[in-house]
Structure 1
Amino acid sequence: MAKTNAKVTARKKRVQRIRVKISGTSDRPRLSVFRSNKHIYAQIIDDTQHKTLIAMSTGHKEFDAEGVGDKCEQAKKVGLLIAEKAKSAGIEKVVFDRGGYLYHGRIKALSDGAREGGLVF
């Protein structure tokens, strides 16, 4: 059996515990966040249809990192861009899924950017 990092295992448990309480519907989809060491990813997901409606990350071709400083500022810009895409798709209200991470740093910056962009959660 392969060894698994204790941090990764603990985060997966937190994700499952959160996902029992949070789910996205057609009228209020879920804004899910994943954070790696290098990038941050955000998806708007409709859990009733099991489809990803909108996705944005720091590695996405529409994301321009020039003039953006640290990772927190990049996360805020990703939040603004995903909110802009959601507004154009007719999505105004979402449920925020922090993905087992603390609501701090890059996760908080992404949610603040999404709120500034016009998403309500």
Structure 2
Amino acid sequence: MSKNESRVRRARQTRIKIAEQLAHRLSVHRSNQHISAQLYSPCGTKVLAAASTMEADIKKAVEGKGGNSAAASQVGKAIAERALKAGVTEVAFDRSGFRYHGRVKALADAAREAGLKF
């Protein structure tokens, strides 16, 4: 089993548990250069809010370096603000099979500080 197949398997198990809870899902995707987050409705079909280091305002705030923890913190703050604006305060965190450290942890901590409850 390859590294990516293992990650996808872990992600699938997490999504099954979150679907059983019928909670809003904050999903994170990480690449070498960027990080993005999306907030899904409980049924999982509608995206309520999204934020990414590929957006112009966030890219300007992190000076074009989207692959570091500072950029992940900016994305976490942005997704929390947009979620609160959409009326969502509690979410289930879906790390998409990525380990909870580094950029994924920085995004989650920033979202918590901005007002989201996990």
Q: Shorter-chain TM-score: which interval?
A: 0.7 to 0.9
In structure 2, relative to structure 1, the CA distance for the partners of 1:22 and 1:73 (3 Å cut) is same
Distance in 1, Cα, partners of 2:6 & 2:44: 28
Two-structure CA RMSD over aligned residues (Å): 2.0
Distance in 2, Cα, partners of 1:65 & 1:74: 10
- 2:57 equivalent among 37, 53, 62: 62
CA contact (8 A) 1:65 1:74 kept: no
In structure 2, relative to structure 1, the CA distance for the partners of 1:116 and 1:105 (3 Å cut) is same
Determine which structure has the larger helix proportion and give its number: 2
SS at 1:99 equivalent: coil
Distance in 2, Cα, partners of 1:67 & 1:49: 30
Distance in 2, Cα, partners of 1:42 & 1:67: 16
Q: Residue 7 of structure 1 aligns with which residue? A: 3
Q: Residue 114 of structure 1 aligns with which residue? A: 111
Number of matched pairs:
115
CA contact (8 A) 2:62 2:70 kept: no
**1:1-121 equivalence runs, <5 A:** 6-23=2-19, 25=22, 28-48=23-43, 50-66=45-61, 71-121=68-118
String of CA shifts for 1:51-104, please: whole Å, max 9, x gaps. 111111000233244456761010011000110111111111111111101110
Given the two structures, how large is their TM-score scaled by the length of structure 1? 0.85
Distance in 1, Cα, partners of 2:72 & 2:105: 9
Distance in 2, Cα, partners of 1:109 & 1:49: 24
Q: Tell me which stretches of 4 or more aligned residues in structure 1 moved more than 6 Å.
A: none
